Amino acid sequence: MRPRNRKSRGRDAGGWPALCTERGALRAWLRETGSLTARLRLSGLVGVHLLRQGLRRPQHDERRALHLAAGRLAPVREVVLQVAGRVAVFAHTAANLAALKLLRRAGRRPLASVLFADPRVKAGPLYYRQLDARHPLHRAAVFWCEGPEPRRLPARRALFVRGAARLLVTEVFLPWSRGQS
């Protein structure tokens, strides 16, 4: 994977801050600027389980980042990434209609296999947030957690652009990834 300049400042269109406040081993995972899937492969065999892909209503902050009008449906894709059989990351992608071809090209493979392999795709800066039970992505991700339900889950997101195509990729880190280096 080629290195990318993904420095961020302030907040993104949805209010997610650019400052990663996480400490410990997870901080390096959150700040990874290359393909998260490639980094996960260093810890073991990575599997992708496609949960859903289709037209849905994006969240309010996603609509702002994708420049979508209220009430519009948009392509949404959700997967879990497993490492050595354990679920490590819940990933949610909302996109505009121009990005539908990129999502279809990924199929059941990691989206990173399309985004990081295409030199025309520009990866935007990373933004971070601790998700709690009020956030819909926390509610979707905790289903995949082993053991007690975490009160908060660290997440990051970035906007990927290729021409008119815009994809907002959010990765929610489940407890497995917290102990990894």
Domain presence at residue 15: no
Name the more confident of 162 and 10: 162
When divided into structural domains, the chain yields a total of: 1
Domain presence at residue 4:
no
The H-or-E segment that residue 25 falls in is helix 25-30
Per-residue pLDDT tens for 50-85? 999 999 999 988 998 899 998 899 999 999 999 988
46 pLDDT above the threshold of 70: yes
Query: 66 — phi, psi (to 5°)?
Result: -95, 0
Question: What CATH code is carried by the domain that includes residue 168?
Answer: 3.40.1410.10
Q: Where are the beta strands (DSSP E) in the chain?
A: 46-56, 74-83, 86-95, 122-123, 127-131, 153-162, 165-173
The answer to the question of residue 18 being in a domain is no
Within a 10 A sphere around the Cβ of 16, how many other Cβ atoms? 19
Query: Distance of alpha carbon 177 from its chain centroid, rounded?
Result: 14
Residue 178 has pLDDT above 70, yes or no: no
pTM of the model: 0.89
Residue 2 has pLDDT above 80, yes or no: no
Range of the domain at 145: 25-178
